[in-house]
Structure 1
């Protein structure tokens, strides 16, 4: 039996709520784990990608905004909430928009431009906080950009593979069930 438009909208809203709640759980967990905090924040951002795939850009923005706002209000470690707001939560939405260009070279120029702008913001505003945690070789700005860009490319390719898996396996099942 086909669901009405209102039923589909309610289902999408519920899914966005669940994804936002899960994203917030991962953000909160990032404040509790002793190591790998950035990785846990990245996982929280992947749930925004799921919202974009399942509900579109508006659902992604809703998931990102709700999680980011609640993260700022509820997390004991506001730095992780800022990392989510400034990069990991926003990236799936920007990635979706950039990949609509359908020109791989232009896409990578835009992706690397966005990443380097965020890295520059972090470097100049949080250098005093970040330097004690970075290996000695990464205290030089050139090494930070080189290592950061390499890590970003790996992250983006991995993110693309996880999004494809979600779209092909999980979202497909959710659409059939709904």
Structure 2
């Protein structure tokens, strides 16, 4: 595929990802879900264009979102985990034994979530909502891990669906 096409598809994916993150930044309920949705856009790039285009999309989406969007927590969730997770997911899935693969996934996810909260509180000055006290933080962390489990399964299913039903149709328009 020509470089101009790769750049064009990366640009469109970047614009769509920024719009998703924008929606997450203006509707507070979507602040945690839109980084996940934006990362699902990477399926098309990774499967039909190239890893280079997916990396380009991740970097450009991250930079543009930091500049344009108010909700830094939404952007940090994308930048610190959900944006690059599709790029490293296959490598993590290849690790044997499977228990080690899952452990690394959860360690990277939880490290990114902790780093996100630390940056939000201490760098961006966003107060942490501890309405439920210490237990609220634990419940929040458990809920985030459940969301990650669902996201990983959803990503696997959407990847399979894309490969079976949509890949040939999309590649017909891309190539």
Q: TM-score, normalised by structure 1?
A: 0.80
From 73, 76, 82, give the equivalent of 1:79: 73
Q: CA deviation at 1:72?
A: 0.8
Kindly tell me: are residues 62 and 146 of structure 1, through their superposed partners in 2, closer, same or farther at Cα, counting changes over 3 Å?
A: same
Unaligned runs of 5+ residues in structure 2 are: none
Kindly tell me: are residues 140 and 33 of structure 1, through their superposed partners in 2, closer, same or farther at Cα, counting changes over 3 Å?
A: closer
Aligned residue for 1:172? 168
Aligned residue for 1:64? 58
From 127, 130, 155, give the equivalent of 2:128: 130
Q: CA deviation at 1:117?
A: 1.4
- Report the number of matched residues: 170
Aligned residue for 1:154? 150
CA distance in 1, matches of 2:151, 2:27: 21
CA distance in 1, matches of 2:96, 2:165: 23
Aligned residue for 1:32? 26
Q: Secondary structure at the match of 1:129?
A: coil
- After superposition, residues 92-103 of structure 1 pair within 5 angstroms as 92-101=86-95, 103=97
CA distance in 1, matches of 2:67, 2:140: 31
1:75-112 CA distance string (max 9 Å, x none):
13233222211122122112133124365333212211
CA distance in 2, matches of 1:155, 1:137: 27
1:60-81 CA distance string (max 9 Å, x none):
1111001110001111323322
Q: Secondary structure at the match of 1:36?
A: helix
From 13, 16, 31, give the equivalent of 2:7: 13
Unaligned runs of 5+ residues in structure 1 are: none
Q: Secondary structure at the match of 2:29?
A: coil
Q: Secondary structure at the match of 1:85?
A: helix
